[in-house]
Amino acid sequence: MPSSAASATLVDTLASRADSSSLIRVGAVLFVTALTAAAAQISVPLPFTQVPFTFQPLVVLLGGLALGPRLGLASQVLYLVAGLAGLPVFAASATLPPGALRLMGPTGGYLMAYPLAAFLTGYLAERGLDRRYLTSVLAMLAGLLVVYAGGATWLGVFARTGTSAPIGLHAALVTGVYPFIAADVVKLLAAAGILPAFWRVLGRTDLR
């Protein structure tokens, strides 16, 4: 079982082997930020909900595992700042508001939960949960629950569509969580082996 003591994340380990550790860390944060923005462009609108299907949660969770809590959080804060500044990093949509207003719309809770999800997943990676497949699954599931909780709470309690009142938590779960669970879990199970595979290549499967 992983110990409670902090261990090096994948990016920390790679940075420690490089001549410029700061450059590796900054580059990794920027890469995850860009990958989150790219994943947003693979967006599938669904007829029964205002929440589109995207690959962003998967990138957020994998980024947290690789970067650790602080850098993982930073990558997603940077992503949100880029969106607030008007850069086209959010999912393209004919119905969702653009730019900074996107955070006030029905998907705002999911977006605002990304930094917290990356932080939690990264924290668990620092405890060694990224070194084995099953523990990576658990770490990513914990982060996914944060995304769902933030998204459903915002959608159900705070988000308004035009003059319509918030739809309530039950309706938010029905339209913003339940339809996505199966696909998200399948993606998570497929991706959870990526970090353990990197550790095997590095010869660092020991949990110190």
The answer, yes or no, to whether residue 1 has pLDDT greater than 50, is no
Radius of gyration of the chain (CA): 17
- Alpha-carbon gap, residue 10 to 28, rounded angstroms: 10
Tokens for 187? 């993606």
The answer, yes or no, to whether residue 205 has pLDDT greater than 80, is no
Tokens for 14? 């790679």
CATH hierarchy code of domain 10-202: 1.10.1760.20
Residue 128 pLDDT = 95
Q: Cα–Cα–Cα angle for 175, 179, 180, nearest 5°?
A: 115
- Alpha-carbon gap, residue 94 to 194, rounded angstroms: 34
pTM (predicted TM-score): 0.92
Residue 163 pLDDT = 60
CB 56 within 8 A of CB 39: yes
Residue 2 pLDDT = 47
CB 181 within 8 A of CB 145: no
Short-list 96, 92, 98, CA closest to 42: 92
In angstroms, the Cα distances linking 202 to 1, 22, 30, 192 are: 20, 20, 23, 17
| Contacts of residue 207, Cβ cutoff 8 Å, sequence gap at least 6 | 2, 3, 7, 128, 131
Structure confidence at residue 40 as a pLDDT band (50, 70, 90):
very high
Q: Give the pLDDT mean for 182-208.
A: 86
